[in-house]
Amino acid sequence: MSSSSASSVFSALAPYGWDEAWAEAFAPYEAEGLLPGRVVRVDRGQCDVVTADGLLRADTAFVTPHDPLRVVCTGDWVAVEPGGNPRYVRTYLPRRTAFVRSTSSQRSEGQILAANVDHAVVAVSLAVELDLGRIERFLALSWESGAQPVVVLTKADLVPDAVTLSYLVQDVETSAPGVPVVPVSSVDGAGLDVLAAIVGGGTSVLLGQSGAGKSTLANAMLGEDVMAVQSARDVDGKGRHTTTTRNLLALPGGGVLIDTPGLRGVGLWDAETGVAQVFSEIEELAERCRFHDCAHEAEPGCAVLTAIETGELPERRLESYRKLLRENQRIVAKTDARLRAEIRKDWKRKGAIGKAAMEAKRGPHWRS
């Protein structure tokens, strides 16, 4: 590629995140005459790709492996054929990050929602009661993806009392250590400048339930009504899916935004590291437990249980931590034979301990 051609590629793709590292990774495909581009939408085996030649429609038939985590997805950087009818995506470049959840199917497959994301913006509506457990679930997936999470409390105009709003922010901050929590209002623009400063210059994926105000927030960030908006029910804040596919859009102040459909189910997918990050204070307390394999249930010298007794740690946090760890273990066990065997062994060990304790309690002659 000539220097002028390389310059035109950079000027066209830089607003979508193209940089020297991506150019270096693409070099082998450049030698084959392929075009670099970023996937802005995927739909039924085809995708829209933004390139230096403009927006192209391409078929993904060359990149359709059995592994659902290796399909082309929104946010991927790809190598596209320069011509042809149909035009094909030949491959995608190695992903820097990937946001993955488990599907609701019995097969428990992973589903990739977005690739090469720098910030995971979790939208939470203040029109309904906060569900801290759901927020923690989103954050676990976000941390596991490799992206920096940001919690955005939408519809802040519905909480006009500043003191009440500050308490709600504090509640979320307690459940989101190390995560910025930003209350915003798409009605009066409050907080949007703070959010723009956090996510500017990178790629952000917008996540949340239906009715969380994601499309309204996306429009406010984009400065125009790009995404359709539907009202949510006042009783539970739920609405129909406004966004039906994942779309990548350039932000006017720099960076790009991937809007996603509202997620009814947010299953973990091999997110042990992410769970540990969300509950970092519990992980730190666990290091002070007397036993290195402490389950934080009834063991003597448990620093986690002591923290609950003193009020340092809310009991709800420990319950949520246990729940997400159990769920993640079940998901991983379905694809890991060794782990399944370890879990069965642990169940048998605990069963034997329980049986021995019961027999000791009843005495040696209880069967007679």
Whether 117 and 75 have beta carbons less than 8 Å apart is answered as: yes
User: 74, 258 in Cβ contact below 8 A?
Assistant: yes
Taking only the tens place, the pLDDT of each residue in 6-49 is 778 888 999 999 999 999 999 999 999 999 999 999 988 899 99
pLDDT of residue 172: 96
- CA–CA–CA angle 262, 263, 268 (5° rounding): 155
Q: Are 126 and 155 in contact (CB under 8 A)?
A: yes
**CA-based nearest residue to 259, from 215, 226, 225, 224:** 215
Residues 6+ apart with CB under 8 A from 198: 119, 150, 180, 182
Q: Name the one residue in this structure whose structure tokens are 């605990």.
A: 350
pLDDT (0 to 100) of residue 334 = 67
Q: Is the pLDDT of residue 338 over 90?
A: no
Determine the pLDDT at residue 242.
Answer: 47
Helices (H), the chain: 3-13, 20-30, 132-145, 162-175, 192-199, 214-222, 272-278, 280-286, 303-310, 315-333, 337-362
pLDDT per residue over 159-194, tens digit each?
A: 999 999 999 999 999 999 999 999 999 888 999 999
Q: Which of 249, 148, 247 minimizes the C-alpha distance to 199? A: 148
Range with the poorest average pLDDT among 63-72, 109-118, 123-132, 169-178: 63-72
Q: What is the mean pLDDT of the segment spanning 94-106?
A: 77
Helices 132-145 and 315-333, packing angle to 10 deg = 50
Closest CA to 276 of 135, 181, 101, 143: 143
pLDDT at 366 > cutoff 80: no
Rounded to 5 degrees, φ, ψ at 246 are -90, 125
Q: What is the pLDDT of residues 223-260, one digit of tens each?
A: 876 554 444 434 444 444 444 467 899 998 889 999 88
Query: Can you read off the two tokens belonging to residue 269?
Result: 């997918």
Is the pTM here over 0.75, yes or no?
A: yes
Does the pLDDT value for residue 268 go beyond 70? no
Q: Give yes or no for residue 60 having a pLDDT over 50.
A: yes
Predicted local distance difference test score (pLDDT) of residue 48: 95
- In the predicted structure, residue 347 carries a pLDDT above the cut 50: no
